[in-house]
Amino acid sequence: MESSAMVMGILNVTPDSFSDGERFLSPEAAVDRGRQLFEEGAAVVDVGGESTRPGAEPVSVDEELARVVDVVAGLAPHGRVSIDTTKPEVARAAVAAGADILNDVSASLHEVAAELNVTWIAVHRQGTPATMQVAPQYADVVADVAGFLAEAVERGRAAGVPEVWVDPGIGFGKTTDHNLKLLANLRQLATQGAPLVLGASRKRFIGELHAISDGSDLAEVSTGDRLEGSLAAAAWAYAQGATVVRAHDVAATVCAMKVVAA
């Protein structure tokens, strides 16, 4: 019983990522963790050296390079690696080190992806990490995001990107209500002419739903205590047409995908 959904393991090599910041700062620890994610069934490991959590401040090119290049090089012999960055310099260095996917939350690096001949993931985001959760607003979040993703596909293909994937950017400039509307309408987003990536793992709105479900305070729901909601979102996304699901908890997510596939 195999699942056709790809699980993308999340590997943050940052001190301030919302879920696993500081856990994998050394290249050795990060490579060990990435190899574990592959062993658990990840089809791709996504390496990020700059936090994109709400309120995060940008880091310099040199700092981001120092965090990710050795990790990408250490993981590339073991499986497919993506680089989560918005910086052309980091993208080029990571691809030279062995990455073949550019995960771009700015949705602006299509020409770089074309130059490097790699897959480009265009993520929808309103604002920047520092500002994106300050009262985000949409006329119609589903229509707005769908239009943005369709335009990104056109831009990427016109630039010569060999493969474009799209991501509605759950939590990137969206309220809990926005996130839930996007999840409820994933089939519409999955018809934009490109594989759909969905990343809801351990995000704040999952914590809010957990708190509501068990009557606890949101502050009591740690990022590590959001497994059930993350799995439910991943299974729902796959059932609604998502091709790639990003996850911190890879082994459990792979099992969930297999259940849905059955």
Catalytic residue ranges: 203, 246
Task: Give residue 39's Cα distance to chain centre.
Answer: 19
Q: Which strands form 6-12's sheet, in the order they lie side by side?
A: 164-167, 119-123, 101-104, 80-84, 44-48, 6-12, 244-247, 197-198
Burial string for 29-38 (b: 16+ CB within 10 Å, else e) reads ebbebbbebb
Spatial separation of the C-alpha atoms in residues 126 and 140, rounded to whole Å = 13
For 18, 209, 225, the CA distances from 135, given in Å and listed in that order, are 20, 19, 26
What residues contact 151, with CB distance under 8 A and at least 6 apart? none
DSSP 8-state class, residue 41: T
Q: How many CB atoms lie within 10 A of CB 139?
A: 6
Q: Name the phi and psi angles at 138, rounded to 5.
A: -140, 150
